[in-house]
Amino acid sequence: MPPISALDAIGPAIQRTRTFLFRPFRLPTFLKLCLVALLTEGLGGDFNFSSPGSHTSPRTHFVDLPSALTPGLIAAIVAGALAFIVLCFVAYYLITRLRFAYFHCLISNTTEIRPGWRLYRSQAARFFWLNVVVGFCFLLLAAILAVPFVAGFWRMFHRTPAGSPPSLGLLLSLLLPLIPIIFLLVLAGIAADVILRDFMLPHFALDNATAGQAWAAAWTRIKAEKASFFVYALLRVILPIAAMIGLFLVLIIPTLIIVAAFAVLEIGIHSAFADATGAMAFIGIFLEVLVGLIAFCMALFASLCVGGPLGTAIREYALLFYGTRYDRLGGFLFPPPSSPLNSLGTA
């Protein structure tokens, strides 16, 4: 099949997603596939919002910290950090295995996760370590670029009198040069992720390629069609964001209504059992927990129903675009029609 443009791949990707997830439609299978798609594409799990404690004095913590760090506490912190790192590595390895398994599902049009999980075990392990090395190099680069800025913020921190805000001019002189560096790092991270998952992973899976072989094969195709791959990379970033914005606008009112209904129900139960004692108090707590659990299950179900098809469509889009440029992948996506003579012979 001749190469298709990034724009022309959108429609077929949506159609393949509909066929894969909904024809035929079985709710348990649909939820299983949506969960795998949500995990492997990382939708909804890459953002961590936190509010720093702006009313505490950082200097007080620095003064009290050495006396609070006993040898036992230091050992516990180190052990906890190591355990967390190991847990993150294990989780990422399992997600990598799932990516290969879901890749197998999509190119083979099967809803079974286990065959791909077993088939690509060694390839997934090599791809996992490649991602670890790339991630480490990326963090090292970010740390090297951040050193001058960290030193500048450290000097500003020590030169600012206790209880006084830092100089606005000095703060801007540190922040403004940092913005383009952060922007370039984000672009580099996105480019690395697209190249690894969309272009190199198929070569790992289908050719049993090494990292060097997969990169050489992908880079040859990128060099041959720089403009097409650039447009694809732009759409690969823009389309999921546009889809999420559209879904947000469509679902915001029903979501607010449902959240308000559950909030009113929780408040009503809490008020009804506020003065209860004994068994009645226990019943009130049970009802509040039950309503909260139902709300959580509904939120999880909604996340799967929204994120699963979107994640699947993203992967189908990547497969279709690259599959028309990589014959072996294209052979799975566009199998040749069976010959009428062969059909008569088998009949």
**Angle, vertex CA 192, rays to CA 186 and CA 193, nearest 5:** 90
The pLDDT score that the predictor gives to residue 172 is: 75
d(CA 234, CA 238): 6
Which stretch of 58-62, 64-68, 165-169, 303-307 has the lowest confidence by average pLDDT? Answer: 58-62
**273-331 pLDDT, tens digit each:** 888 888 888 898 999 999 999 999 999 999 999 999 999 999 999 999 999 999 999 99
The predicted structure's pLDDT at residue 153: 73
- Give the Cα separation of 324 and 78 in Å (integer): 49
Radius of gyration of the chain (CA): 26
The pLDDT confidence band at residue 237, using thresholds 50, 70 and 90, is very high
Average pLDDT, the chain: 86
Residues 130-139: tens digit of each pLDDT: 999 999 999 9
DSSP E strands in the chain: the ranges are none
Residue carrying structure tokens 């740390």: 143
For residues 205 and 194, the answer to whether their CB atoms sit within 8 Å is no
CA dihedral 240, 243, 245, 248 (to 10 degrees): -120
What's the average model confidence in pLDDT over 22-35?
A: 94
Query: Taking Cα atoms as reference points, which of 313, 336, 272 lies closest to residue 15?
Result: 313
From first CA to last CA, the distance across the chain in angstroms is 29
Between the CA of residue 258 and those of 31, 272, 284, 285, 293, what are the distances in Å? 21, 21, 21, 21, 14
Q: Enter the pTM of the model.
A: 0.81
pLDDT digit string (tens) for 155-199? 777 677 666 676 677 677 777 888 888 899 999 999 999 999 999
Over residues 320-333, the pLDDT tens digits come to 999 999 999 999 99
DSSP calls for 142-205: HHHHHHHHHHHHHHHHHHSPTTSPPPHHHHHHHHTTHHHHHHHHHHHHHHHHHIIIIIIHHHHH
The Cα-based distances of 274 to 25, 271, 277 in angstroms read 45, 5, 9
Other beta carbons within 10 angstroms of residue 126's beta carbon come to 17
At residue 49, does pLDDT exceed 70?
no
Query: What number of other Cβ atoms are within 10 A of residue 9's Cβ?
Result: 22
User: What's the pLDDT score for residue 52?
Assistant: 39
User: Residue 29: in which H helix or E strand, if any?
Assistant: helix 27-41
Cis amide leading into 24 (omega within 30): yes
